[in-house]
Every structure is written in structure tokens, then in C-alpha cells.
Chain A
Amino acid sequence: MTEQKRYFKTLHLCLLFLALIPVTKVVTLPSFLASKAGSSLWISGLIAFLLDLALIIVMAIACEKSKGTFFERLELTFGKSISKIIAGVFAIFFLLKSLLFVLGEKHFIENTLYEESVISYIFYPFFAICLYLCIKGLKAYERLSFPLCAMTIVGLIMIFLLSFGEAKLSNLLPINTSVRKIINGSYQSLMYCGEGLYLLFFMGRHAKDKKVILPLTLSSIIAYILVIAFFILFYSVYSNISVTQIFAISQISHYSLVIDSIGRIDTFAVLMIDFTRLFALSLPVVLSMECLRFIFGTKTKQTIILSFGLTLIVMLFVNFFNEKTTFIINFFNKYFSYFFILMTYVLPPFVFLLKEKK
């Protein structure tokens, strides 16, 4: 990999993680965790996030030390054929991960932004983003790291300010949820986490300008603190009925006094967060595409065809299982959770064993 291709600077990686980590965890995860761990949802979240943070640190170390990309190192270690098979497995994994997320996003949009008028085609422009990002590749994320981070932070701050007045922190007490429930909640929420894995694909694309471990760890910690604060605030507002507030981000500031006088300005904050979500939810598809690029080559025509194909698969899946979201989530939790954990938390640290470029 030439220096020109090392376009990701530490600052951009930090901003990207700060932007992407919170947005996938503030929509359905809070109510899901509340159903598993009740008022201790934030403890469940914290445990999962600590595991996630550990993965990020490990992968940041690998990223800093690595001279080549993940695929280059795979090829050096296993040869072309086997490395292409491994890339194929990752491509399938990312595709499956994206299916779950995109389906959730469809329901989130239809139930929050279009409560009054659900039109079937409303969600389909999302796939235009997916397609465009697949064609543009990871460089688009580097370029947009700052706007995405700004959207997330401003959106979350707006939400915090709007909902703080309605929060009763005493709702979180007493902390008497059984350890089993808390751990179960943490385990189940791992499906929503695993951003550290993404670093595997930024490896070798990261400009060796500065040390990456500490800044990336710090930005991830800030992101997780924001998410934990959101969990606490959410449960403080809704207490026992948190479980029924499926889309937490759009519900948390529903009862703010400001909304009565100036309209649903919280929806603007939700839209800002959802703006970043578009990129966060597309990232697994883009990474799947990166794997396919490695397998099939990097010619423009191939990239466009493959991007179309991938996006079409996601679109057909969402269309087909539109009415069966609960079934899909349960199915994934039951049959794919081990595969998810294996791919996200177990395999990536083995990158240290891969041969290094000279």
C-alpha cells in the first residue's frame, strides 16, 4: 500500500468512531436492554461496551503496527485462494449484519417520521446511499468524518437538553436486577456493537502520522459515555414503560415543554442523528463490498456491478421480511449470535498472527 492510499488520519478515525458508535445504540437498544435488565440497562450496556472498548484497543494496536492492509496480510499468510475464501466469509458476515440493521431502520423511519402517512416506497431512497457509498468506498467515510461527528454530537446534545427536564434519576434506583439478567442483556446487546472489527479494514489505510491507540481509545470512551448517559436519561424519563418505547431516540424528548410551543424540534435532532445512521448502517454493506473488491478486483465496472448486486440483495431482503422483523431478530439472535461473536470478537485479534509486509 503506497503512502497515497493511506488516507485515513488518526483525527479522522477518531471523529468517525465518535460519530458512528452512538448512533447505532440509541434507537432500539435502550428499550431492548430495558426489557432484559430493567433499571440496570446502563450496567448491561457498560459491560458490553467495555468488551467493545477492549476490542477497539486491541485492533488499534494492530492498526498502528501493521504495514499492510488486512487483505494484503491475509494473502501473504494464506495465499490467494484461502485469503479470498476468508474475505468471502467476512463479506457474508457484513451482509447479514447489515440486513438486521437496515430492517430496523426501515421500521424506525416508518414509525417515527411517517406516523401519519406510511407510504411503502418512502424507505427506498436509503438504498441509493448504500449504493453510492459502496461505489465510493471507505474514502467517503474519511472525507465525511467531521460532518458526521458534528451531526451526532449536536443531535445528541439537543436531545439531552430537551429531555433532561423530564428525567427523574431516582427511577434508576434501587439497583437490584440479578447479575444473570444484566449479563444476559450485555450478551444480547453485543449484536449492536463490534465497531472494533471495522478497524481491521482501516488497517494499512491509516496514515502513519501519529499514534492511534490513545486518541482512538479516548474518542471511543467519549462515544460510549454519551450512549450510557442516553440510557440513563431514557430510563429516567420512562422508567418501567421504557420497554414499550421501542424507538428511544424519537421518544425520549417527546414530553419536553418546548415542543408544545415551537413544534417537534426534537425531530430535527433525530434527523441529525439519523443522518449519521445512514452512514453507520451502510458501513457493513460497504465493508462487504470491500471484501468483494478484494475477491473480484477493483475495476470500476466490476465495482459498480457488485455494488448494485449487494444493494439489491439488501433491498430484496428488507422488502421480503418487512412484516417479520421480530421473527428475523429472534432468528438472528438464536442462530447467528455465535457466528456474530466469533467474527466480531474472537477472530479479529488473530490478526497479530498474520504475516507482515516487509
Chain B
Amino acid sequence: MDIKKEKKFFKNKLSSDDIIFFDFNQNGVEGFLIYVDSITDRELLGRLVLTPLSTLDNFEEQNVMKNILNANVESQKDKSKIIEKILEGYTALFISKLEKAILVDLKKFDVRAISEPPTSAVLKGPREGFNESIRTNLSMIRRRIKNQNLVIENMLLGKQSKTSISILYMSNIADNGIIATLKERINTLSIDNIPDSSYVARHLKERKHSLFRQIGTTEKPDVLSAKLMEGRIGIIVDGSPIALTVPYLFIEDFQSSEDYYRTDYKSNLSRILRGTAIIVAILLPAIFVSAQLFHLEFIPLKFLITIVNSIKGIPLSPSYEMLFTLIIFEFLNEASIRMPKYVGMALSIVGALVLGETAVAAGIVSSPTILIMALSGICLYTCPDLVDTMSILRFAFLIVAGTFGGYGLLISIALLLIYISSIDSFGIPFLSPYSPLVLKDLKDGIIMDNVANMKKRPISLKTHKNKVRMK
């Protein structure tokens, strides 16, 4: 190998300042190393590579590789692959007596500590969550599933970013057709950069413009490992603490990992509450408006009198009043997410007291409207993953209710139901096990059975290979 020529070539290709070229001469044998300073463990480089090299006399490829004290060593001739590996964190070793470069895995990244994910906090059950390192995340899964059938397939995604992603599945449970479809979709993905797993999720969606997400997400290794055991396939993206799961069913949004760790009575109550809360969140403002405009008989007489008294002098019609209040709520919500935490308290005061109290006192909105909107807002957050979709639907239903009343509302619910029942996630009906009804899978529905009785895997997920999970 012509060391000078090689060095010139790589210097041309890798001109960044954090890429280090280190020359050496051992007993008249010339060579050089290339590594990316920011992602290489220099201590290991010295200890495992340079120290053994300094004692070497025989520079045959096999001997060099044998003397480097690292399990992940390979030789490579293809220059583009060498560059790819260097940028991944490998150190490339070029020696004049060798035809190929030796690549040693010495990656070292600073990663955030493992902590409880803020969106899936639990009272009971594992508290650890994924972080941004794919290696750490995979290790958390491996620790939970010590099984030869756990398959982890790595690939690079992103034309420019070359982001590592891993596909995880249990080869003896997951459906081969679903695995093949997923790989096919990932392989056709052509994108420059993958800053987060949501980019992958967006490209894997069957209906790109759908309001409903069609890919599951989790930040918890216990959840991902349980889903793998149900026959789902996981995707972990380097740099993202959110793992993806497919196929994704709508019912998953009403299931919390905690449901499986506490008594089924409490879990059932929680699931029913979540389901009811979502219905209340999206329909209550619409029902209230349609009742005021078209169906006063819906409202009990005493409550009707309260409403009549409170809306006296309100300049806006019920639908505009509710729309106005909802928009204010969305403003507050948007601001509270973006605003620094120390301003949050002030925002709450401004939102709750100044806007709420004063708006009622000033006669702009009525107190029942504020009450209905607040209840709807609280209920919306019982299923955090549904917030985006449901807050948009809430607006849509409100407009329909204000225009057509209860019948329009009924029709829009029917339209929505026809639409979501027709969605398939990797060939599995999105509303399964309720639409179409799959009796055997109801054990983990809104009303769940005792975990000890869930002896078979969900058949909706095509787990024909291995149906039984417990005897």
C-alpha cells in the first residue's frame, strides 16, 4: 500500500477538523491512523491499538488483527466503506505492508443517563426509559429478552446522515409477511437525515395524510419487549429515545404498561375512564353547543335555567363562544409547552384567573362554557398519544355541531368510524379487536382480563407461528 497516496486520498475526502490523522513508524514500517476525535475513545485507542502496535515485528494482516485487543476488528479494502466506518466511530489503521485497512471499533459517545420517560411515568413497574443511544437501548432489550430468537437487524438510513437503525423481532413469533413489508418500506425510504424516529414513522405510514398515527411508539424497554413478545416488530433509531412498533392498533393508546402490573380491577377502571374521557374530550363541547342551538330538550330543566341565566348578555352565539374558548385553550397550551418552566406559574395564573375569571366577569363567555371546555381539556390528556389527533377532531366536531346539530354530529361520528375502521396497519385492521370483532383478543381490550388468563398471543397480529405464551 502506498501510504502517502492513501493518506492524500483520505485527507481529501475527510477534511473536517475533528478527523485526526496520526502517523507512526514502527521498525521502519510506515503507517497512519484515522479516527474522528469526537466519537472515539482515545484511552482505548492507546491501550488496545497503539501499545500492541509498538511491540509488533510481524506486520502480516492476521498478526496485526490478532494483536489488537478488541473483538470488533475487521479488514476492509473498499474506500467508501472505510470512510463510512470511520464516520461511525471506527478507527482505521493503514500500514504500508498491508493491502487492506484494519478497522477497529472504538466508538464512544456521551449519552444521557437512563431516566424515567416523562410521557410514560408509572407508579408501579419499571421506571427506566430509552435514551438517545441505540446501543444503550438495544442493551436494555437484550437484558430483558435473553433468547436466541430475538433478531436485531442493523441498517443505515439517511442518504447524508447515515443514521443507525435497528429492527427487532422475535423470529419464532412475528409474522414473516409483516417483517418483509416493513423491510421493504424501510428500504424504499430515501431521505437525507433522520433526526428522530418520528421521521421513520411518518414514512412508514400507509396513509400519509391520515390524521391518525399508524405506527406505535414507546419510550420504555419493558413495553417494547412485551410488544415484541406479542408478535410486533420494533424499530430503534439512533439519536431518538422513542422506539417504534408495528403493527399498531388503536386500542394500544388506551393501554398503559401499568395496567399489567397492578390489579385488573383497577386497570379496568382506568381503561374505562380513559375511553370515556376521550369521548368526553372530543364530543362534550360539540354536544353542549348542539344542545343549546338545536336540542334544548337534551338539557335537564334545572341546568337549563342555570345556562339561561349565565348566557344573558353574552354577545357571542354558543358555537362561537365555545370556539373562542377552545382557541384560547390551545393558545395557552401551545405557550405553556414552549415557555420556560419558571414562567409556567405566571402563565397558569394568567390563563386560569385573568382570562377565565375576567372573561366571565366581562360577559364575553359564560361559566358553563368555561366548565365544559376545562373538562374537555383535562379529559384530552388521559391518553397523551391521542392529544394531537383528538384536539383537531374536537374542533371539527364543534363546527359540525354548530352547523348541523346532533344529527350532523352523529353523521360525522359515523363517517369517522367508517374511515378508521377501513385503516389497516401492516395488514391488520386498525380498530381490531373491535372492528372487526375478534373475540379471542378481547382479553386485552378496554375491559381486560387477568394477565394470568392471557394465555395466547393476540391472533389479530397474525401470531400463527407461536400462539401460546403461557400454559
Contact A147 B434 (CB under 8 A): yes
Shortest Cβ-Cβ A-B pairs, 7 listed:
A146-B437, A263-B300, A143-B421, A125-B411, A264-B297, A143-B435, A125-B408
| Docked CA distance A92–B296 (Å) | 41
Known A-B contacts A128-B415, A143-B431, A146-B435; A264 and B407 likewise in contact (beta carbons under 8 Å): no
Contact B298 A122 (CB under 8 A): no
| Docked CA distance A264–B299 (Å) | 7
Give the residues from 432 to 456 in chain B that come closer than 8 angstroms, CB to CB, to chain A.
434-437, 439
Contact A271 B422 (CB under 8 A): no
Nearest opposing residue in chain B for A140, CB measure: B418
Contact of A123 among B301, B407, B429 (CB under 8 A): B407
| Docked CA distance A198–B191 (Å) | 49
- The segment from A82-90, A112-120, A294-302, A334-342 found at the interface with B is A112-120
Could you write out 24 A-B pairs with CB less than 8 Å apart? A11-B437, A12-B437, A113-B295, A113-B405, A114-B407, A116-B295, A117-B293, A123-B407, A125-B400, A126-B407, A132-B418, A140-B418, A143-B422, A143-B429, A143-B435, A144-B418, A146-B435, A146-B436, A147-B421, A147-B434, A264-B298, A275-B410, A278-B411, A278-B414
Contact B436 A274 (CB under 8 A): no
Contact B437 A125 (CB under 8 A): no
Size bin of chain B's contact surface: 20 to 34
B298, B303, B421: residue with the most chain A Cβ atoms closer than 10 Å: B421
Contact B437 A263 (CB under 8 A): no
A9 interfacial contact with B, CB 8 Å? yes
Contact A122 B405 (CB under 8 A): yes
Nearest opposing residue in chain B for A272, CB measure: B410
Contact B421 A144 (CB under 8 A): yes
A182 interfacial contact with B, CB 8 Å? no
A129, A139, A143, A274: residue with the most chain B Cβ atoms closer than 10 Å: A143
B413 interfacial contact with A, CB 8 Å? yes
Nearest opposing residue in chain B for A142, CB measure: B436
A357 interfacial contact with B, CB 8 Å? no
| B265 vs chain A, min Cβ distance (A) | 23
| A103 vs chain B, min Cβ distance (A) | 16
A247 interfacial contact with B, CB 8 Å? no
Contact of B294 among A113, A146, A271 (CB under 8 A): A113
Known A-B contacts A143-B436, A144-B417, A263-B301; A116 and B406 likewise in contact (beta carbons under 8 Å): no
B198 interfacial contact with A, CB 8 Å? no
Contact of B422 among A126, A140, A147 (CB under 8 A): A140
Contact B410 A271 (CB under 8 A): yes
Instruction: Give the chain B neighbours of A122 by CB distance below 8 A.
Output: 404-405, 407-408
Contact B422 A11 (CB under 8 A): no
Known A-B contacts A144-B418, A146-B437, A262-B300; A267 and B411 likewise in contact (beta carbons under 8 Å): no
Instruction: Give the chain B neighbours of A146 by CB distance below 8 A.
Output: 434-437
A15 interfacial contact with B, CB 8 Å? yes
Contact A125 B404 (CB under 8 A): yes
Instruction: Give the chain A neighbours of B303 by CB distance below 8 A.
Output: 263
Contact B407 A12 (CB under 8 A): no
B301, B408, B436: residue with the most chain A Cβ atoms closer than 10 Å: B436
Nearest opposing residue in chain B for A109, CB measure: B407
Contact of A278 among B297, B400, B410, B431 (CB under 8 A): B410
Nearest opposing residue in chain A for B422, CB measure: A136
Name 10 extra pairs, CB < 8 A, besides A143-B421, A146-B436.
A114-B295, A114-B405, A114-B407, A116-B296, A122-B408, A129-B414, A140-B418, A267-B406, A278-B410, A279-B414
Instruction: Give the chain B neighbours of A116 by CB distance below 8 A.
Output: 294-296
B96 interfacial contact with A, CB 8 Å? no
Nearest opposing residue in chain A for B435, CB measure: A143
| Docked CA distance A247–B47 (Å) | 89
B412 interfacial contact with A, CB 8 Å? yes
Contact of B436 among A132, A145, A271 (CB under 8 A): A145
Contact A267 B297 (CB under 8 A): yes
Instruction: Give the chain A neighbours of B414 by CB distance below 8 A.
Output: 129, 275, 278-279
A133 interfacial contact with B, CB 8 Å? yes
| A234 vs chain B, min Cβ distance (A) | 20
Nearest opposing residue in chain B for A110, CB measure: B407
Instruction: Give the chain A neighbours of B417 by CB distance below 8 A.
Output: 144, 147
| B255 vs chain A, min Cβ distance (A) | 19
- 1/0 contact string of B313-333 vs chain A (CB within 8 Å): 000000000000000000000
- 1/0 contact string of A95-131 vs chain B (CB within 8 Å): 0000000000000010001111100011101101100
- 1/0 contact string of A170-210 vs chain B (CB within 8 Å): 00000000000000000000000000000000000000000
| Docked CA distance A98–B368 (Å) | 42
Contact B406 A147 (CB under 8 A): no
| Docked CA distance A146–B303 (Å) | 35
Contact B413 A144 (CB under 8 A): no
Nearest opposing residue in chain B for A133, CB measure: B418
A261 interfacial contact with B, CB 8 Å? yes
| Docked CA distance A114–B296 (Å) | 10
A9, A15, A121, A271: residue with the most chain B Cβ atoms closer than 10 Å: A271
Give the residues from 374 to 411 in chain B that come closer than 8 angstroms, CB to CB, to chain A.
400, 404-408, 410-411
| Docked CA distance A116–B293 (Å) | 10
- 1/0 contact string of A1-35 vs chain B (CB within 8 Å): 00000000101100100000000000000000000
Instruction: Give the chain A neighbours of B299 by CB distance below 8 A.
Output: 263
| Docked CA distance A60–B296 (Å) | 46
Nearest opposing residue in chain A for B412, CB measure: A125
Contact A126 B418 (CB under 8 A): no
| A136 vs chain B, min Cβ distance (A) | 6
Contact A263 B407 (CB under 8 A): no
| Docked CA distance A342–B294 (Å) | 43
Instruction: Give the chain A neighbours of B413 by CB distance below 8 A.
Output: 275
| B272 vs chain A, min Cβ distance (A) | 15
| Docked CA distance A109–B299 (Å) | 19
